[in-house]
Amino acid sequence: MPQVPRGPALFPMQYQVLARKWRPQNFHDLVGQEYVSRTLVNALKSGRVAHAFLFSGPRGSGKTTTARILAKALNCHEGKAGEPCGVCVACLEITAGNCMDVLEIDAASNNSVDNVRGLIEELQYRPARDRNKIYIVDEVHMLSNSAFNALLKTLEEPPPHVVFILATTEYHKIPTTILSRCQQYGFKLIPFPLILERLRFIASAEDIQISTTALEQITFSSGGSMRDAMSALDRVIAFSGQSVHDEDVSMLLGLVAPAVLNKAVRAVASNDAQSILEIVGDLATNGQDLQNFCRSLLGEFRDLMVLKSGVSDCSLLGIPESMLPELNALAAMFSREDLLRLFDVLLKVEGDLRYATQTRFQLEMGLIELAQIPRMRSLEDLIADFSRFVEGDAPKPTTGSPPATPNSAGNRAPAPKDSAAATSPDRSRTANPGARNAVKEPTVMADAAVSASAPESAPQVAEGGTLLERIAAAIQKDSLRPLLHSVAGARIEGDSVILDMGPLATEFLRKQVKENLDGIAQTASMVIGRAVRVFLDEAPAVTLVTPPGSPKEEDILEKAKKVPGVQSFLDIFPGPVRAEKLKP
C-alpha cells in the first residue's frame, strides 16, 4: 500500500504573505509617514534618543514596522547612525522576530498587573548581546489601570540599557500619566496615490498581470491601510493567479464597481424608477451586500458634494484622477442643496437597512424616495407662487438686482396737484384680475398724450408700444430692463416722466427703481426727444375692495388648493388652511 507523504513533503516551502514579504526594512522605505521617519533619523544621528516612545495611529499605518526599524537602528552592529545595515546578526534576528534583546509583547493577552511586575523584574538584567534591551508593547491601551499604574515609575526612569516602544490604535484610552512620560508620534492614514504606487511596484516585482483599474479598486477598499491593501492583493492573486481580471476584483472583495454607482446616481437625477429597481435587482441576484452598496453610494454623493463646493483635489476625494471627469459631469446634474438633502435621506436609509428584515425592499423604496428630491421645489418658490395666485397673476419678482448707483436727482419732486390721474376715480384698484384693465387705462392715456405733445423733430429711438416699453427697449443697461418690466406704467407731465409703480410693487422694487432714476431719465430723454426728469408716482395706499358678484372665500380657497404648487406646499406642510380677509 503506497504511503501518503506527510508534513513538509506536501508543502516544501511555506508561503510568506505580501504584507510580511514587502514590509519596509529601513526608514527610507516607510510610505506616507515622512515626518516620523525624518524625526527618528535625526534623533538617532544626534544621539538624542528618548527612553520611551508612543506610536499611535490607525491600523496598517506602519507602527509596528517602524518600531522594528527603530530597534534595528539602536542595536545594529555595522550600520551608520539612523541607517540599519540589514545584514548583521542583530538586524536579521529582529527582522525574523527571534532576537533575545528585542521582546515584542501583546498587551491584549498580557494586560494584568502581574504581567507588568514580571516585566519590571526582567529589566534589571543586561542585554544578552546587543547595546539595548528593547520592549515593543503592541496594543498598549489594553493594559488595565492597575498595570498602567505599576508601569509608571519604570517608564519614567528605566535602566539606561532599556528602551520602551509602545504602539496603540486607540490613543484616547492611554492615561495622561503614561503620555507625559513618552515621546509621542502620530501615524496617519496613507494617501491613496502612495498605496497605489506601492501596489503597482509589488505587482511588477511579483510578475502579476493586473490593470490599473483593478489596483485602484483594491487601493480604494483599503481605506488608507497599507496592510489591508496588501492583504486584499494577496486574496486576488490567490483567486486569479498571475493574470487578474477587473471583474474578479469586484466580485472577490465585494466592491461596487464605479460604473454601477454612476448609473445609480444618474437614475436618481432623472427619477428613473425602472433603472433603480434593475440596479438593486442585479446586486441582489449577484449576492452583493446591499448595505455595502448603500455606503458606497453615500461616498459617491459625498464626493459629488466636495466637487460641487469647488474642491477637485484627488487626495481629498480619495479617488483616482481617471474618475474625476465622470464625477464632474454627475455633480453638474445637482445643486448643492439637492446634494445635501440626498446625503441626509440616504444616510437615514443606510441606518434603516441595519434593522430591516427585507433589505432589498427597504433599499428600493429608499432610492425611489431619493429620486423625488431633485424634483422638489424650494419653500420660497412655493410661497411666491401662492402669493402670485392670491394677488391675481401679479408680475413675478425679478431674480437679480442691478447694482446701486447714487441718485443725483436729489429729493423726489411731488407730482403736480392738477394731475388728472391723481384725482381720477380710475386710480382705485381692485383685488380681482379684472382690475388690471383699470390699472392700465391711465398709462395708455398718458402714452397717447406723449405722442401728441412730442415735437415732430424728436428722434424715434424705439417705435411702437407704450412709453414704458419704448424706454425699456432703448435702455442700454441690460439689468434695468426686467426692472422696468415690473413697473405698471409711465406717463408724461410737463418736463417730467412719472413711473406708476402700481399697488402691488414691493419696497425692494421701489428702492431699486429710485437708485437707477438717472439712467432711466437719460433713456427717456432720448426716446421723447427732449430733456425730462423721472419720478415715482408715490400714490397713497388704496383700499382693496371686492366688487359685487365676486366668488366666495370658500370657492377661492378650494380653487387655490387645486393649484399644483399649492398642492406640493400642502403635502410638505399639512395643516388647516383658512382664508384671511384683506384689511384696508
Most confident of 94-108, 306-320, 434-448: 94-108
Is the pLDDT at 15 greater than 70? The verdict is yes
211 within 8 A of 203, measured Cβ to Cβ: no
Give the least confident one: 86-90, 336-340, 445-449, 549-553: 445-449
Q: Which of residues 447 and 103 earns the better pLDDT score?
A: 103
Side-chain-side CA neighbours of 342 within 13 Å: the count stands at 33
Same domain, 139 and 221: no
pLDDT 10s digits, 41-54? 999 998 889 999 99
Same domain, 32 and 156: yes
Domain that holds residue 264: 258-375
Integer Cα distance of 498 and 88 in angstroms: 99
pTM here is 0.58
pLDDT at 187: 93
Same domain, 38 and 163: yes
Same domain, 26 and 48: yes
Domain end call among 186, 203, 219: 186
Whether 63 is in a domain gets the answer yes
Q: Which of residues 140 and 464 earns the better pLDDT score?
A: 140
Structural domains in the chain (count): 4
Whether 541 is in a domain gets the answer no
Same domain, 289 and 239: no
Whether 405 is in a domain gets the answer no
pLDDT at 16: 84
pLDDT at 379: 67
Whether 507 is in a domain gets the answer yes
Distance set, CA 418 to CA 171, 495, 537 (Å): 86, 15, 14
Whether 12 is in a domain gets the answer no
| Residue that has been written with the C-alpha cell 406640493 in this structure | 568
Residue 550's nearest CA partner among 527, 582, 526 is 582
Q: Compute the average pLDDT of residues 274-285.
A: 90
Record the cell numbers describing residue 121, joined without a space: 523584574
Is the pLDDT at 63 greater than 60? The verdict is yes
Same domain, 42 and 154: yes
Domain end call among 204, 221, 253: 253
pLDDT at 220: 82
Give the least confident one: 118-132, 522-536, 559-573: 559-573
Angle at 187 between CA 235 and CA 253, to 5 degrees: 20
Identify the CATH number of the domain in which residue 220 sits. Answer: 1.10.8.60
Same domain, 40 and 135: yes
Same domain, 143 and 173: yes
Integer Cα distance of 140 and 174 in angstroms: 8
pLDDT at 289: 83
The greatest distance separating any two alpha carbons of the chain, rounded to the nearest whole angstrom, comes to 131
Whether 404 is in a domain gets the answer no
Give the least confident one: 86-90, 212-216, 291-295, 310-314: 310-314
Whether 89 is in a domain gets the answer yes
476-500 burial, b if ≥16 CB within 10 A, otherwise e?
A: eeeebebbbebbbbbbbbeebbbbb
pLDDT at 412: 40
Domain end call among 343, 375, 407: 375
Identify the CATH number of the domain in which residue 55 sits. Answer: 3.40.50.300
Q: Compute the average pLDDT of residues 447-464.
A: 39
Give the mean pLDDT of the chain.
Answer: 77
Whether 273 is in a domain gets the answer yes
Q: Which of residues 341 and 394 earns the better pLDDT score?
A: 341
Confidence of residue 203 (pLDDT cuts 50, 70, 90): very high
Give the least confident one: 234-248, 428-442, 471-485, 486-500: 428-442
For 477-542, the DSSP string reads -GGGHHHHHTS-EEEEETTEEEEE--TT--HHHHHHHHHTHHHHHHHHHHHHTS--EEEE--PPPP
Identify the CATH number of the domain in which residue 308 sits. Answer: 1.20.272.10
Is the pLDDT at 260 greater than 80? The verdict is yes
Is the pLDDT at 459 greater than 80? The verdict is no
Q: Which of residues 445 and 510 earns the better pLDDT score?
A: 510
pLDDT at 577: 64
Same domain, 357 and 443: no
Same domain, 196 and 275: no
Same domain, 64 and 173: yes
Same domain, 179 and 202: no
